[in-house]
């Protein structure tokens, strides 16, 4: 099993290219199920989760061709053979549930296993199910599978979401493109990945308005066609690498970065004493003083502070001047990185969904274990600031969301390598 070894204390300098968004690509790929004609995605990330989604789509009979070392994905659903998403694939990744809406919309039936992914809370499917039932679907949970059918096809409806769920918004948005009549999604998620999906669906011929707001209106069409679409920049990878020079010192430029993707995050960085400036190619980041300042963080749905940057922010605040309070409002069980940071000398108290971080001057290298995707990268970042050597094990989580992290950080001066143990 591979581990990442980091030796701290070396300032960073240079440019880090930011990949296409994992969470966007994993939504865009199932959109191919809505059409017989090909969907081409450019700027695709090269991650294990993309391989998992590829395997799932191929199990349904989708043809998937990777070009340009995986940065271009060409998908075609013209000869599908199945509408059953099996447990053996779905259990590996939460985003697998995004085939449910498209399969119902085009084929009027589907069998989808309950999904897996990181162990960061229940993340139930009931919002997805209730929303699709409002559009005329009949869905039954049996033997761990959602058995869904829509005799005569889905019908447009008013769909109020009890929570602004990104996944449920995506599932309903895709399903609504081929439904009969008009669908109005209320309390819709507003994340950039939603806007990116809507942009792609419009390129395929869908009629969608209001994406990026809390109310999305979709007028169903008879069919969707071919399209080529560039995957939006990964705002979570962007935020992660923006923190790297805060841990290690120095200054880096994140190529492809945009402030509108990480507005709430940038506001917290500014309050912590970190300069973020726009360039022609992206964003430059540098710490203003010797240590960041303590700030309080509450995770919220977009445009609030993203839960997927909470672990990285906590790691940064471990060496901040003062005491910070982080409140996790999106997922339960998402402070599992705290005990590992404590092994590195951090002073953290966790009570339920609230973590209090008392900043210390330095962290110390240690052997630590990744518990989920974002926790794993937070420990690598902490290693950049720590005295001595940090060894992060169980990094199979990491490869789900970050492509070649050791190469990207190594190229700007970090002492980091991947080793087999």
Residue-range domains of the chain with CATH: 2-19+233-420 (3.65.10.10), 22-230 (3.65.10.10)
3-state secondary structure of 275: strand
User: Residue with structure tokens 């980041």?
Assistant: 285
2 is in an annotated binding site: no
- The four Cα atoms 403, 405, 408, 413 give a dihedral, to 10 degrees, of 180
Rounded-to-integer distance, Cα 39 and Cα 283, Å = 31
3-state secondary structure of 293: strand
pTM, rounded to two decimals: 0.91
Q: How far is CA 291 from CA 17, 287, 288, 320, in A?
A: 26, 8, 8, 6
Rounded-to-integer distance, Cα 108 and Cα 148, Å = 8
Task: Tell me if residue 118 is catalytic.
Answer: yes
Q: State the alpha helices, DSSP H only, in 293-348.
A: 310-317, 338-343
Active-site option among 118, 200, 254, 318 = 118
- Which secondary structure element, helix H or strand E, spans residue 208, and what is its range? strand 207-209
Rounded-to-integer distance, Cα 246 and Cα 12, Å = 9
3-state secondary structure of 53: helix
Which segments of 210-273 are extended strands (E)?
Answer: 215-219, 227-230, 250-255
308 is in an annotated binding site: yes
71 is in an annotated binding site: no
- Which secondary structure element, helix H or strand E, spans residue 391, and what is its range? strand 389-393
The token pair at 231 is: 């995957």
pLDDT per residue, tens digit, the chain (421 aa), is: 899 999 998 999 999 999 999 999 999 999 999 999 999 999 999 998 999 999 999 999 999 999 999 999 999 999 999 999 999 988 888 789 999 999 999 999 999 998 754 443 444 688 999 999 999 999 999 888 999 999 999 999 999 999 999 999 999 999 999 999 999 999 999 999 999 999 999 999 999 999 999 999 999 999 999 999 999 999 999 999 999 999 999 999 999 999 999 999 999 999 999 999 999 999 999 999 999 999 999 999 999 999 999 999 999 999 999 999 999 998 877 899 999 999 999 999 999 999 999 999 999 999 999 988 888 999 999 999 999 999 999 998 898 889 899 999 999 999 999 999 7
Are β-strands 39-42 and 227-230 bridged in parallel, bridged antiparallel, or unpaired? parallel
94 is in an annotated binding site: yes
Rounded-to-integer distance, Cα 301 and Cα 313, Å = 16
């Amino acid at each position: 099993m591979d581990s990442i070894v980091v030796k701290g204390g070396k300032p960073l300098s240079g440019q880090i290219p930011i990949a296409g968004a994992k969470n966007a690509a994993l939504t865009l790929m199932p959109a191919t199920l809505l059409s017989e004609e090909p969907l081409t995605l450019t700027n695709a990330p090269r991650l294990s989760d993309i391989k998992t989604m590829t395997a799932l789509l191929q199990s349904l009979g989708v043809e998937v061709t990777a070009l340009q070392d995986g940065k271009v994905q060409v998908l075609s659903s013209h000869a599908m053979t199945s509408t059953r998403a099996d447990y053996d694939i779905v259990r590996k990744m939460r985003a697998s549930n995004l085939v449910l809406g498209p399969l119902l919309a085009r084929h009027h039936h589907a069998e989808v296993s309950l999904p897996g992914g990181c162990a960061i809370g229940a993340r139930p499917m009931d919002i997805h199910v209730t929303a699709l039932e409002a559009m005329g679907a009949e869905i039954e949970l049996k033997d761990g599978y959602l058995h869904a059918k829509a005799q005569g096809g889905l019908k447009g409806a008013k769909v109020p979401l009890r929570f602004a769920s990104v996944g449920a918004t995506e599932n309903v948005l895709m399903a609504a493109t081929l439904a009969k009549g008009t669908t109005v999604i209320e309390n819709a998620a507003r994340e950039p990945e939603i806007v990116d999906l809507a942009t792609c669906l419009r390129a395929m011929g869908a009629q969608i308005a209001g994406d990026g707001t809390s109310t999305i209106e979709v007028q169903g069409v008879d069919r969707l066609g071919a399209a080529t679409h560039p995957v939006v920049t990964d705002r979570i990878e962007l935020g992660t690498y923006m923190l790297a020079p805060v841990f290690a010192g120095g200054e880096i430029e994140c190529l492809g970065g945009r402030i509108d993707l990480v507005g709430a995050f940038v506001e917290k960085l500014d309050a912590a004493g970190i300069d973020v400036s726009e360039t022609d190619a992206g964003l430059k980041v540098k710490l203003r003083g010797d240590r960041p300042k303590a700030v309080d963080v509450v995770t919220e749905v977009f445009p609030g502070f993203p839960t997927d940057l909470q672990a990285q922010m906590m790691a940064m605040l471990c060496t901040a001047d003062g005491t910070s309070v982080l409140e996790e409002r999106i997922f339960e069980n998402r402070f599992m990185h705290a005990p590992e940071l404590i092994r590195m000398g951090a002073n953290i108290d966790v009570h339920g969904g609230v973590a209090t971080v008392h900043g210390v001057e330095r962290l110390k290298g240690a052997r630590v274990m990744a518990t989920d995707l974002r926790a794993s990268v937070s420990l690598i970042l902490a290693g950049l600031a720590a005295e001595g050597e940090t060894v992060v094990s169980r990094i199979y989580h990491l490869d789900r969301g970050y492509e070649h992290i050791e190469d990207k950080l190594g190229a700007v001066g970090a002492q980091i390598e991947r080793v087999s143990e």
